[in-house]
Amino acid sequence: MDAPTRDDRHELPSVDALLADSHVVRIPLATRFRGLEHREAVLLRGPQGWAEFSPFVEYDDQEAATWLAAAIATGWAPPSTPALRDQIPVNATLPAVPLDRIPAVLSRFGECRTVKIKVAERGQTLADDVDRVRETRRLLGPAGRIRLDANGAWNVDEAEHAIRELERFDLEYVEQPCASVAELAELRRRIRRIDVPIAADESVRKASDPIAVARADAVDLVVIKAAPLGGIDRALAIVAEAGLPAVVSSALDTSVGLAMGAALAARLPELPYDCGLGTAALLLSDVTRTPLIPTDGTIPVAAVDIDEDALARLAAPDERAAWWRARIARCRELLVVGAT
């Protein structure tokens, strides 16, 4: 996806303005996730409040610039539409952990009725996925909801076989089973009669054309994330153009980033699915004394009060802080170029 240009409702802040009140943090995770044991993020304070810039380190500057546009839109301009709800139902997220760790991981999320299970983990097998889904179903009971996320790791044949094996556990949907739009469309055609919905995540947030997956009739719903899509207003426009049900999710954010996701979910005309915004439960610490950990399966739509002591305690090493600040400067320059 091309980096968005600046929001017409405000001027692009200078690098000095972006970094004037910025804090690079490094937060330990409760369980290894995406190969990470710590999550790094930059918190930026603008005139509208705190924002987060936290693209994963492997993303190039062009992709990361979209995340910076979202942070600027959050910290320097309020959303252009009103909130429609003040609580957001959320799911628990289960990494590809051993069976004996499942109860402990899920317990961090409290009473969530929905669990998203990571599958197709490198180094694991379909049998591992079946065991993990079976155990989660046992713990949830028949009323619980289970969705899977393969992060595009299967080809069409592998995805079809896996979904046919796993659909007996009553799946809500499968997120990004294959990497490409063409593969998703072919898979959806093959499994239509077993009625397991397909969702797109990477095919929306990492695509040059985020509507292509809807235009190809390749999925039943879209997963959207405010930061990778350039902010709340841009994400809402993508959902409106796609014309599909949407689930708002996170990218292992701090509570500041999760608050932006909650603000996006609060502005969707309809919210038919629990959102993937409960991932503060996967962090061992946070930048606030009141992290957005789910309570009775929901998180509030509210600004986050920053804990200055936590910022000091979680401060990233100097070399990492310098790396992130240089990245912000490069990404801002890309936004300037895109605006000309």
- Write down the catalytic residue from 23, 118, 132, 137: 118
Measured distance CA(181)–CA(204) in Å, rounded: 10
Examine the residue annotation and report whether 118 is marked as an active-site residue of this protein: yes
Residue 336: is its pLDDT beyond 70? yes
**pLDDT computed for residue 10 by the predictor:** 55
pLDDT tens by residue, 28-49: 999 888 788 999 999 999 999 9
Query: Residue positions in the annotated binding site?
Result: 149, 175, 201
Q: Hunting for tokens 């139902």 — which residue is that?
A: 89
Residue 245: is its pLDDT beyond 80? yes
Per-residue pLDDT, averaged over 81-96, amounts to: 97
The better pLDDT of the pair 282, 338 is held by 282
Structure tokens at 160: 């079809």
**pLDDT computed for residue 329 by the predictor:** 98
pLDDT tens by residue, 174-215: 999 999 999 999 999 999 999 999 999 999 999 889 999 999
Residue 156: is its pLDDT beyond 60? yes
Cα–Cα distance list, 157 to 114, 154, 160, 178, 239 (Å):
27, 8, 5, 10, 29
- In this structure, what DSSP letter does residue 297 have? T
DSSP for 24-40? EEEEEEEEEETTEEEEE
Examine the residue annotation and report whether 225 is marked as an active-site residue of this protein: yes
User: Coil, helix or strand for 168?
Assistant: helix
Residue 5: is its pLDDT beyond 60? no
pLDDT tens by residue, 249-308: 999 999 999 999 999 999 999 999 999 999 999 999 999 999 999 999 999 999 999 999
Q: Predicted confidence band at 230 (pLDDT cuts at 50, 70, 90)?
A: very high
Residue 9: is its pLDDT beyond 50? no
Name all domains of the chain by residue range, CATH numbers in brackets. 15-80+309-339 (3.30.390.10), 87-307 (3.20.20.120)
Strands ordered across the beta sheet of 114-118: 92-94, 114-118, 145-149, 171-175, 198-200, 221-224, 246-248
Residue 61: is its pLDDT beyond 80? yes
**pLDDT computed for residue 36 by the predictor:** 86
Kindly compute the dihedral angle of the four CA atoms of residues 120, 226, 146, 121, in this order, to the nearest 10 degrees.
10
**pLDDT computed for residue 27 by the predictor:** 98
Listed in sequence order, the residues at least 6 apart from 131 whose beta carbon sits closer than 8 Å to its beta carbon are 99
Query: Residue positions in the annotated binding site for Mg(2+)?
Result: 149, 175, 201
| Statement: the pTM of the whole predicted model exceeds 0.85 | yes
- Write down the catalytic residue from 225, 234, 267, 327: 225
**pLDDT computed for residue 6 by the predictor:** 43
Residue 4: is its pLDDT beyond 70? no
Q: What is the mean pLDDT of the chain?
A: 95
Residue 78: is its pLDDT beyond 90? no
